[in-house]
Structure 1
Amino acid sequence: MSFTVDKQTLEDLNLLGKFTPGSIFGMFNKVQTSGGERLLLQLFKNPLTDPDAINKRSGLLSYFQEKALDFPFSRAEFQTVEHYFSTGSSTNYPAAFIVVFSKKIQASLLRDERYPALQKGLVATIGLLNSLNDFLKQFNDPNPTPFDEELQVLQRILETPALRNLLKEKDADEFSIAKLAAYDHLLKHTLQADIEILMECIYKLDVYLAVGKVGKAQGFAYAEALPKGKQVIEIAALWHPALIKGVANPVGFNGENNMIFLTGANMAGKSTFMKSLGIALYLAHMGFPLAARGMRFSVCDGIYSSINVSDSLNMGYSHFYAEVLRVKKAAEEVARGKSFLVLFDELFKGTNVKDAYDATLAVTDAFAQYRQCFFVISTHIIEVGEALQKTTDNVQFAYLPTVMDGKVPRYTYLLEQGITTDRQGMLIIENEGILNLLKN
């Protein structure tokens, strides 16, 4: 079973994108190898849905976060090794010798760069294997660790007699044609399968170390995954990972209180809170560190959001119709009995106030009947909340307050229980002098 997140939700939460400013992938993308980056992207695109697998990964990453070790190879050094293994080798030693001898002649007569590149690649590879061997000595923990299984695989490969002999060549900076051909054939043919496994393990190491380092630097924590159906999300303190000094809020859902109806002024932090929750649950399903303290959650089927929905000129959709289609899609998933986190920010703001009130109330009341999901629905129409209080018993009412310092609004970003009574819109307009500008 896969974790469902559509393109709109990925964009709303800014989860992917190597070059997208502030993306969550970019935050964790501190790897040193191209293979590590590919693996990291693969992990981001495939959150887990098995609680045991999630907890196993979070335990592994937490272990590396505590270890706080540096990746033992430079990016340039590793690129040299990757390039070395990208060049082929013959299936038997005599043929390999002839190929290497041919490259040597061409290097002498034509200044062909392939022979010196082969020498350089082999030297770099031997250096990498020795560095890896030394690095793994730091994992001599007396008690079992989450890394033991992969550590044993790496140690088994490095203890292969042929590789042990190769490691002894760590002081050489050039090899004879015979040795160069022999070692090249050994690494690229005889031990090809083991070398491929070893490289994949190094890519994983790259990811573990990078993710752990980010988690430690940011003060992130790990979540505990519970089986699907437990109907719980508990977070002692949650903030947005892109905020250096983000204000943290507790969050709690269960089967009896599975919806938050959120009110507050513009700029009070409603959208940021919803994004923070969506990002945290997504990273929790990946087993990654997240911007929270002490999170427990039951596994979900996916996340569905409607935060930054825009109109579509190509499809001929108005903003309101685009909103309606998002709500319809969410309704289809929820009605199928799936367990989703659904985030709706300012429902139906693309239509008139009367329709927005009626539609928000009807849709929110209908979604509230589905106890297997978690919902956060925000709106400026506080009258909807007042009506919901009379018809539902599973909705938490929360708001983000505005505090007035004289005529200047200040935002605490701290959730409070209830429905906001803040109505500072006109005051902010007056503070900006818009009406005076128009009168004059």
Structure 2
Amino acid sequence: MSNNINDLNLKKEIFPLFDYCLNDISKYKLFDLLNFTLKNKEEIYARQIIIKGFIKNESNLENYTYSKIYFHQVHNFLTQASYDELDISKLDLIIFSKVKQEIQSKIIQFTSLFEKILNSFLKKINKTDFPTSYVKDLDYMIDFISFFEIDYYKSLNNYKIKDIISLSKKIKSKKNEFQKFYDILLKSEAYFSISQGCIFNKFTFPSFIDHDISIKDVYHPLLEKPVSNDVFFDKNVILLTGPNMSGKSTFLKSIFISIYLGHLGIAVPAKEANFPFFDYFSISINHQDDLKSGYSHFMNEIISLKKVLEKYHEGKRCFVIFDELFKGTNIEDAIAISSETIKGLLTYNASYFLISTHLHLLNNLNEIKENKTGNFYIESRIENNKPIFTYKLKDGWSDLKIGQILFQNEGITSLLSK
């Protein structure tokens, strides 16, 4: 499902959390899985069961490894190269030693790799830990590899001419099935990689509920010493305040990461998580001017908001984060259109909008005064004329300003007066 998640930075921030892949092609499959949320709760729970199954089989699969070079060479040989070279005769192998050497080398790589996939991975898996639909995939892969009598050929010290011809014929007979086999295998390895990331990071699988967002001890998984927070959002518009450097963007991103990963069927960085199913995701954090297309920061905000509203009117249930919405325009304009936006979004039932803002005058809006919005701030305080940041989420509204304090503490005032 297509979402507006460029600001999530999947490749640099999320992908490494789950990248335990043994080869580059599995990495591509993993990245693909991370890019698209699932269509419904049933698909999500089905994937959860598969990943949980791999978690349960962690000790069974701890020795699963193989040569990355072998994997890519065999993959190219089976899926991309011409099979004409397998049309060999006994006479060819007798006369042309180079032909025999080349074919034998590929067969040795093939048997070595597929023996490890079969005996160190597929046959080590306890199939009772997986749903029936996925067990069919496992059985298919086992039957497919078993067709080649891998254990027999792997046991040979030397390949006789008849062995080379026999296995070559078997490989060629399955040439139209290798792509299907690899599609299933690579997805399985991506699931296995995800399970290792969930184990290492001690993530928790979420549950899906009809209303409200409730997450216990949610944190940003990339921070070395993250501060966790409990969140409970029972309003569809959540406003977040706090001074610069207080951690608003980091907090918003931690929420988005948890809910987004949950919709991939993956465990999340929290002790417990419960939230509704969403059809569309959008995150706008730290936007810059788009010089290539000629859009200013403000115009990007307008376009992003418009796309979200259009998705809602298409019937999508949206989860959206706007970090400092409309900061790209003057204060008067920002307050006016922010007020209009907040009032309008309050009517967008079943979708959730988390908005951070520096526009303190918004607090005069009746909808905010009457707590029709959820109002929170990231705690900060001044001690000995220095800002103290706790990064903890609190109920209410913050009007704390630290710009002048930082300005003075850095000696800017004295430098300007000289």
Q: Is 2:144 the partner of 1:157?
A: yes
Deviations 1:148-170 (A, max 9, x none): 3333223333444xx33x42121
Match of 2:83 in 1: 89
Matches within 5 A, 1:13-92: 13-15=8-10, 17=11, 22-68=12-58, 69-70=61-62, 71-85=64-78, 86-90=80-84
CA distance in 1, matches of 2:191, 2:313: 38
How far is the alpha carbon of 1:355 from its aligned partner? 2.2
Q: Is 2:275 the partner of 1:300?
A: no
Seq. identity, %? 27
Deviations 1:305-329 (A, max 9, x none): 3322222334443333332332233
Partners of 2:281 and 2:319 within 8 A in 1: yes
Partners of 2:280 and 2:311 within 8 A in 1: no
Partners of 1:310 and 1:319 within 8 A in 2: yes
Q: Which amino acid aligns with 1:410?
A: I
Question: Alpha carbons of 1:318 and 1:148: their partners in 2 closer, same or farther (altered >3 Å)?
Answer: closer
Instruction: Structure 2: state its 5+ residue gaps.
Output: none
Deviations 1:111-133 (A, max 9, x none): xxx64342122112222232233
Question: Alpha carbons of 1:277 and 1:140: their partners in 2 closer, same or farther (altered >3 Å)?
Answer: closer
Matches within 5 A, 1:323-342: 323-342=301-320
Structure 1 window deviating more from structure 2 (313-322 vs 375-384): it is 313-322
CA distance in 1, matches of 2:365, 2:94: 84
Deviations 1:41-71 (A, max 9, x none): 2212321021111111012112212322343
* Matched position secondary structure for 1:170: helix
Q: Which amino acid aligns with 1:148?
A: V
Q: Is 2:12 the partner of 1:12?
A: no
CA distance in 1, matches of 2:158, 2:212: 61
* Matched position secondary structure for 2:263: helix
Match of 1:259 in 2: 237
Partners of 2:19 and 2:27 within 8 A in 1: yes
Match of 2:186 in 1: 203
Question: Alpha carbons of 1:380 and 1:140: their partners in 2 closer, same or farther (altered >3 Å)?
Answer: closer
Q: Is 2:117 the partner of 1:132?
A: yes
* Matched position secondary structure for 1:222: coil
CA distance in 1, matches of 2:227, 2:91: 66
Match of 1:277 in 2: 255
How far is the alpha carbon of 1:415 from its aligned partner? 0.3
Question: Alpha carbons of 1:206 and 1:173: their partners in 2 closer, same or farther (altered >3 Å)?
Answer: farther
Question: Alpha carbons of 1:115 and 1:365: their partners in 2 closer, same or farther (altered >3 Å)?
Answer: farther
CA distance in 2, matches of 1:51, 1:101: 60
* Matched position secondary structure for 1:292: coil
Question: Alpha carbons of 1:201 and 1:62: their partners in 2 closer, same or farther (altered >3 Å)?
Answer: same
CA distance in 2, matches of 1:358, 1:349: 12
Structure 1 window deviating more from structure 2 (130-139 vs 429-438): it is 130-139
How far is the alpha carbon of 1:102 from its aligned partner? 4.4
Question: Alpha carbons of 1:384 and 1:290: their partners in 2 closer, same or farther (altered >3 Å)?
Answer: same
Partners of 1:304 and 1:343 within 8 A in 2: yes
How far is the alpha carbon of 1:217 from its aligned partner? 0.9
* Matched position secondary structure for 2:73: helix
CA distance in 2, matches of 1:408, 1:391: 30
* Matched position secondary structure for 1:97: coil
CA distance in 1, matches of 2:330, 2:136: 60
Match of 1:231 in 2: 211
CA distance in 1, matches of 2:241, 2:91: 76
* Matched position secondary structure for 2:320: strand
Deviations 1:280-330 (A, max 9, x none): 222111112221222223221111233222223344433333323322333
Question: Alpha carbons of 1:101 and 1:368: their partners in 2 closer, same or farther (altered >3 Å)?
Answer: farther
Q: RMSD between aligned alpha carbons?
A: 2.6
Question: Alpha carbons of 1:393 and 1:4: their partners in 2 closer, same or farther (altered >3 Å)?
Answer: farther
Partners of 1:12 and 1:275 within 8 A in 2: no
Matches within 5 A, 1:174-193: 174-189=158-173, 191-193=174-176
Q: Is 2:334 the partner of 1:351?
A: no
Instruction: Structure 1: state its 5+ residue gaps.
Output: 109-113
TM-score (ref. length: structure 1) = 0.85
Q: Is 2:243 the partner of 1:243?
A: no
How far is the alpha carbon of 1:76 from its aligned partner? 2.3
Structure 1 window deviating more from structure 2 (348-357 vs 384-393): it is 384-393
Match of 2:108 in 1: 123
How far is the alpha carbon of 1:370 from its aligned partner? 1.1
CA distance in 2, matches of 1:320, 1:185: 64
How far is the alpha carbon of 1:101 from its aligned partner? 5.4
CA distance in 1, matches of 2:29, 2:346: 38
How far is the alpha carbon of 1:341 from its aligned partner? 0.9
* Matched position secondary structure for 1:59: helix
CA distance in 1, matches of 2:355, 2:126: 50
Question: Number of paired residues?
Answer: 411
TM-score (ref. length: structure 2) = 0.89
Matches within 5 A, 1:272-421: 272-389=250-367, 393-421=371-399
How far is the alpha carbon of 1:210 from its aligned partner? 1.2
How far is the alpha carbon of 1:192 from its aligned partner? 3.5
Structure 1 window deviating more from structure 2 (129-138 vs 283-292): it is 129-138
Question: Alpha carbons of 1:406 and 1:63: their partners in 2 closer, same or farther (altered >3 Å)?
Answer: farther
Question: Alpha carbons of 1:102 and 1:433: their partners in 2 closer, same or farther (altered >3 Å)?
Answer: farther
CA distance in 1, matches of 2:230, 2:312: 25
Partners of 1:262 and 1:379 within 8 A in 2: yes
Partners of 1:89 and 1:184 within 8 A in 2: no
CA distance in 2, matches of 1:388, 1:343: 22
* Matched position secondary structure for 2:397: coil
